Amino acid sequence: MLPLFLQRMLNDCQEKQKRIREARTKIGELCGNGRVIEIGCGFGANSEYCMGPYLGIDMEPVVIQGAKKRHPSKEFLCKDVHDAMHLFSDYDTALFCAVLHEIPDYRGILNNVRQSGIPRVLICDYDPELKGWLRLWMNVFESDAKGWWGNKPEQLLPEAEWSLRSGQITRSILWWEFDRKNR
């Protein structure tokens, strides 16, 4: 029998994995069967929940190599998002999952995505109203996130061009779906 503290750690890990699977399932539902281009895809975990064509882009060669090994049926590129704008016209949805808060120039990137003509942008990220230890941790260890906290996600893309739906994925992760009005 495991000591009590190890049992608790194991239970906590299992619970965290369950919540992550539920969150990724929700992201997959939001993406549907459409063609998805994910910016900052990391090791490609969201790709297995996206049912349609998928392209993951990340700047880190090691994570792209890992994504290709883990998800051989999906496509991944090691590129800076600014160098990949020409690819957006082949996709229905631009997905940003827990990455915009890490990008100092996220407004510039969203402006480029807007200009690319893509019909839909899906953002899943930390609640800008986040409080408590998680916000403190983010402020201390992810310095770029500080700009995100003053943000109102509904103002990220011009409302004259985009309609907005939003919701909650987990207690601290929200989603915002922007659909182009004139498609």
pLDDT score recorded for residue 12: 66
21: tokens are 């699977």
Q: What residues in the chain have per-residue pLDDT under 70?
A: 1-2, 5-6, 10, 12-13, 183
Counted residue by residue, the chain has a size of 183
Euclidean distance between the first and the last CA atom of the chain, given in angstroms as a whole number: 60
pLDDT score recorded for residue 118: 92
H or E element in which residue 179 lies:
strand 173-180
pLDDT score recorded for residue 79: 94
| Residue 152, CB-side half-sphere exposure with 13 Å CA sphere | 5
For the stretch 24-44, pLDDT in tens is 888 899 898 999 999 999 999
pTM, two decimal places? 0.86
Q: How many helices (H) and strands (E) would you count in the chain?
A: 5, 7
pLDDT score recorded for residue 23: 84
**Quick check: helix, strand or coil at residue 84?**
coil
pLDDT score recorded for residue 13: 67
Which residue segments constitute the domains of the chain, with CATH numbers given? 31-180 (3.40.50.150)
